[in-house]
Amino acid sequence: MAEKENAEDHIPTGIEGLDALLYGGIPAGNQVVVSGGPGCGKTLMCFEIIYHMAKRGIPCAFIAFEEQENVVVNNFKKAFPSFSDVDALMEKNLLVVDGADVSSKMHSSTESEAYSFGSVISSIEEVVRANNAKCIVIDSLSLVKLVFSKPNLYRRYMLALALSLKKLGVTSLLTLELEHTNRKEASFGPEAFVFDGTLVMYQDLEEDKRIFSIEVVKMRGSNHSLSFAPYEITNKGFRVFTISEA
């Protein structure tokens, strides 16, 4: 095996430059926090990753907490017109976009936070079981943080979510808003410690332009690049520019 390639249990994201940073992909079963500032492309990139997986025959699900399902799908189609078979993959149940049930449970938090969080987890499990998803996106953890906000309990909830996702055996991408979006000031909350992996999408200002870059900060069970790489959102999807490493 080449030094910069991981074992076959890594699932390629289908975004070439990102797979180069990940030395082949995400270890199957890992839970990866995808964090970044507003509009850096968290939702689109996670959708693109499961789109590529669904195209390879892997059933996937996108759980949308913050936007309506049809809005998420339409934004993706508008951004990337060349990914024209989204509907076909959805009809085949390889790509499921859901979340209404989970969102309503979250917004109707009743007497006990712990009970409500338990029912959010059950709803996520139902979505996963519906098409036997092997990879899921939860967009976003930030809303969970807002609703289940007691700081000493939030970490426990995250641990419970991590345990439940492990039991389900799914590979997961969990989006998260980052308070400081430039690389020098980036700091990490409990999510970065609880879950297996952390990808960070930075926005740095360079003269009169905003420069996007992505970094693998952590990936349990895997070797990965320690470099960060600039990226662009194009109408053919994400382009991550990696340089060859010595």
Ligand X SMILES: Nc1ncnc2c1ncn2[C@@H]1O[C@H](COP(=O)(O)OP(=O)(O)OP(=O)(O)O)[C@@H](O)[C@H]1O
Q: Give the one residue of 9, 28, 69, 79 binding ligand X; rule: CB under 6 A.
A: 79
Q: Please state, in angstroms and rounded to a whole number, the distance separating the CA atoms of residues 227 and 211.
A: 16
Residue whose C-beta lies closest to Mg ion: 43
Nearest of 136, 143, 96, 97 to residue 117 by alpha carbon: 143
Residue 43 is a binding residue for ligand X (CB under 6 A) = yes
Distance CA 228, CA 216 (A): 7
Choose the contact partner of 235 out of ligand X, Mg ion, none; CB within 5 to 8 A by kind. Answer: ligand X
Q: Does 39 bind ligand X (CB under 6 A)?
A: yes
Q: Does 237 bind ligand X (CB under 6 A)?
A: no
What are the beta bridge partners of residue 62? 97, 137
Task: Give me the phi and psi of 5, to 5 degrees please.
Answer: -120, 140
Indicate whether 43 belongs to the interface with Mg ion (CB under 5 A): yes
Q: Which two tokens stand for residue 174?
A: 């969990």
**Whole-angstrom distance, CA of residue 110 vs CA of residue 113:** 7
Nearest alpha-carbon partner for 60 in 191, 170, 144: 170
Q: Is 203 in the site for Mg ion (CB under 5 A)?
A: no
State which of residues 24, 36, 59, 197 lies at the interface with ligand X (CB under 6 A): 36
d(CA 116, CA 91): 32
Contacting range for Mg ion; rule: CB under 5 A; set: 1-9, 43-51, 98-106, 214-222:
43-51
Listing DSSP states for 90-116 in one string gives HHTTSEEEE-HHHHHHHHT--S-HHHH
Could you tell me the smallest distance in angstroms from the CB atom of residue 85 to Mg ion? 23
User: What is the total count of residues that contact ligand X (CB under 6 A)?
Assistant: 13
39 binds, among Mg ion, ligand X, none (CB under 5 to 8 A by kind): ligand X
Considering only the stretches 38-46, 153-161, 165-173, 191-199, report the one whose residues sit in contact with ligand X under the rule CB under 6 A.
38-46
Q: Give least dist CB 4 to ligand X, A.
A: 28
Sites for ligand X among residues 126-185 (CB under 6 A): 177
Distance of CA 123 to the CA centre of its chain: 18
- Out of 22, 40, 144, 199, the only residue in the binding site for ligand X (CB under 6 A) is 40
Identify which of residues 39 and 169 has a Cβ nearer to ligand X in the complex: 39
Angle between the 113-130 and 100-107 helix axes, to the nearest 10 degrees? 180
Cβ-contact 73, 108 below 8 angstroms: no
Beta carbon nearer to ligand X, 24 or 137: 137
Does residue number 21 form part of the binding site for ligand X (CB under 6 A)?
no
> Under the criterion CB under 5 A, does residue 142 sit at the interface with Mg ion?
no
Closer CB to ligand X, 66 or 125, in the complex: 66
Phi-psi region of 229 (alpha: psi -120 to 50; beta: other; left: phi over 0): beta
Binding residues for ligand X (CB under 6 A): 36, 38-44, 79, 177, 233-235
